């Protein structure tokens, strides 16, 4: 289903901060504006770029979003115009608006935003340059940057200057002293007295050198258009203060919301795709049942086999075993880190109930991998003989095996396992 085909017309969306919404952002924003105009301090959006492409993820090339538009730019600009007008109305008079785009439509969107915000409220065209972009185009230069258009709604807006450390070798050579706090300074003599002058950082310019997420980045969730947290951190720190409210109407993988929460801002996220909402919820430690517009029973189908392995990896925070389609020795994925059980935890995923033989095979694989802890996930739960075998494995081999079923996995904190009692207390809230 394309972005412009989603419809939640029968749902009424109340305005609430620190809340994730699942649905058409145009409908949700219109509902917000009925009661809460000028309620948002900072808006950042990273909408489709009209790239004429379909974005996929995973080995099965699952479609994440369709960025192909009928009528090319005309249809796209009309679609964006409706949403930007609603965003303008909900933005506080002292608020700021950041629109992330690229070469496909940045000129069209600049004209659109100039008409709405007025040219005198245009503040910056930020160039996000990612030096680690790879490629060898033969008929044009490498496209290695995005554009972020920065507008305010008035002359009275929040802006906290950001600074970067000076790395010019000649300057550093002059400021050759370092105090106990790590700050550089130089000594100069005047009037027979030694005086100290500190090296001041340079004001942040409009060209931001921030790498795109690498394939092995701990932040990466498998979402094709995922932005690095450091990029959003700059924007949120510059154009908001603690306690302000940040809105992202194209939630994606939830980077804006995650950073806003980490920086003690209130946040509101809107995402049209239910599975993307799950990704955000897992990342934010946010209960699925609190996603407004999300119907768990209706929208979430049972995921089986290798697709379920991808889901488990996303929830627990791990990487899939590249050999899992054959010769995986019983290890489907590896969980990066758990506060209680350590790093690189071998994990097995079963599309059935966990039985005794599953535990025996997993224990052998854990032992072969010279580990002491393993996780096992079964969609259908676990039978008593398997639980008994877990106890035996702990006694005989000193190997700890932690098991999950589908229900407690779906409400799992992405930071690790919630003990059984806490799982059900959490679920009943």
In this structure, the dihedral spanned by the alpha carbons of residues 365, 370, 371 and 372, taken in order and rounded to 10 degrees, is 100
Mean pLDDT value of segment 301-312: 61
Mean pLDDT value of segment 69-87: 85
Can you give the pLDDT at residue 339? 75
Quote the CA–CA distance of 55 and 57 in Å, as a whole number.
7
Find out whether 401 and 361 touch, Cβ atoms under 8 Å.
no
Tokens representing 325? 């389609």
Can you give the pLDDT at residue 311? 73
Rounded to the nearest 10 degrees, the angle between the axes of helix 274-284 and helix 255-262 is 20
The C-alpha angle with vertex 61 and arms to 60 and 67, in degrees rounded to 5, equals: 160
Q: What number of CA atoms fall less than 13 Å from residue 298's CA on the CB side?
A: 5
Which pLDDT band, with edges at 50, 70 and 90, does 66 fall under?
low
Quote the CA–CA distance of 354 and 345 in Å, as a whole number.
18
Whole-structure pTM over 0.95, yes or no? no
Residues 111, 101, 150, 140, CA torsion sign: negative
Helix %, strand %, coil % for the chain, to 5?
35, 25, 40
Distances (CA, A) of 104 to 50, 146, 241: 6, 10, 33
More reliable by pLDDT, 424 or 228: 228
pLDDT at residue 90 greater than cutoff 50:
yes
Can you give the pLDDT at residue 408? 65
Residues 20, 24, 26, 28, CA torsion sign: negative
Can you give the pLDDT at residue 189? 83
pLDDT at residue 328 greater than cutoff 60:
no
Tokens representing 359? 């535990």
Which residues, 6+ apart, have CB-to-CB distance to 146 below 8 Å?
Answer: 100, 101, 102, 127, 128, 130
Can you give the pLDDT at residue 358? 84
Can you give the pLDDT at residue 58? 44
Average pLDDT, the chain: 82
> Which range in 44-53, 56-65, 149-158, 420-429 is most confidently predicted, on average pLDDT?
149-158
Tell me if residue 314 falls in helix, strand or coil.
helix
CB atoms within 10 A of CB 262: 12
Can you give the pLDDT at residue 63? 46
pLDDT at residue 288 greater than cutoff 90:
no
Tokens representing 72? 């090319």
pLDDT tens digits, 175-224: 888 898 888 888 888 877 888 888 888 899 999 999 998 877 888 887 77
Can you give the pLDDT at residue 119? 96
pLDDT tens digits, 235-256: 999 999 999 999 999 999 999 9
pLDDT at residue 347 greater than cutoff 60:
yes
Q: Phi and psi for 375 in degrees, rounded to 5?
A: -110, 150
Which pLDDT band, with edges at 50, 70 and 90, does 425 fall under?
very low
Tokens representing 183? 């700050």
pLDDT tens digits, 100-134: 999 888 999 999 999 999 999 999 999 999 988 88
User: Of 108, 106, 152, which Cα lies nearest the Cα of 128?
Assistant: 106
* Domains defined for the chain, CATH in brackets: 3-161+204-298 (3.40.50.150), 164-202 (no CATH), 304-428 (3.40.1350)
Can you give the pLDDT at residue 165? 82
Mean pLDDT value of segment 25-53: 89
């Amino acid at each position: 289903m394309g972005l412009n085909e989603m419809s939640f017309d029968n749902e009424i969306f109340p305005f609430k901060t620190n809340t994730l919404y699942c649905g058409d952002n145009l409908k949700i924003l219109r509902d917000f504006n009925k009661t809460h105009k000028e309620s948002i301090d900072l808006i950042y959006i990273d909408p489709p770029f009209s790239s004429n492409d379909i974005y996929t993820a995973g080995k099965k090339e699952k479609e994440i979003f369709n960025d192909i538009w009928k009528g090319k730019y005309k249809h796209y600009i009309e679609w964006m115009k409706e949403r930007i007008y609603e965003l303008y109305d909900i933005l506080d008079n002292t608020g700021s608006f950041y629109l992330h785009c690229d070469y496909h439509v940045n000129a069209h969107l600049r004209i659109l935003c100039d008409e709405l915000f007025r040219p005198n409220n245009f503040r910056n065209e930020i160039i996000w340059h990612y030096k680690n972009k790879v490629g060898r185009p033969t008929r044009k230069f490498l496209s290695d940057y995005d554009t972020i258009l920065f507008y305010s709604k008035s002359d009275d807006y929040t802006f906290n200057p950001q600074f970067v450390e000076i790395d010019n070798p000649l300057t550093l050579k002059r400021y050759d002293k370092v105090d106990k706090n790590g700050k550089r300074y130089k000594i100069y003599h005047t009037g027979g007295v030694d005086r100290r002058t500190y090296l001041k950082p340079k004001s942040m310019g409009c060209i931001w050198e921030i790498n795109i997420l690498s394939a092995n980045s701990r932040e990466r969730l498998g979402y094709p258009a995922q932005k690095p947290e450091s990029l959003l951190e700059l924007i949120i720190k510059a154009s908001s203060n603690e306690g302000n409210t940040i809105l992202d109407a194209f939630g994606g993988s939830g980077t804006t919301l995650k950073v806003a929460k980490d920086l003690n801002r209130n946040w509101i996220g809107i995402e049209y795709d239910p599975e993307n909402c799950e990704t955000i919820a897992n990342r934010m430690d946010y209960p699925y049942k609190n996603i407004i517009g999300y119907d768990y029973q209706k929208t979430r189908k049972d995921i089986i086999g290798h697709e379920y392995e991808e889901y488990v990896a996303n929830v627990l925070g791990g990487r899939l075993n590249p050999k899992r389609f054959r010769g995986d020795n019983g290890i489907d994925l590896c969980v990066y880190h758990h506060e209680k059980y350590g790093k690189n935890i071998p994990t097995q995923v079963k599309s059935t109930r966990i039985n005794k033989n599953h535990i025996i095979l997993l224990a052998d694989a854990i032992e072969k991998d010279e580990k002491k802890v393993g996780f096992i996930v079964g969609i259908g739960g676990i039978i008593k003989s398997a639980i008994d075998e877990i106890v035996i494995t702990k006694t005989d081999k000193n190997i700890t095996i932690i098991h999950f079923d589908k229900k407690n996995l779906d409400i799992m904190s992405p930071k690790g396992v919630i003990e059984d009692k806490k799982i059900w207390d959490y679920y009943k809230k």
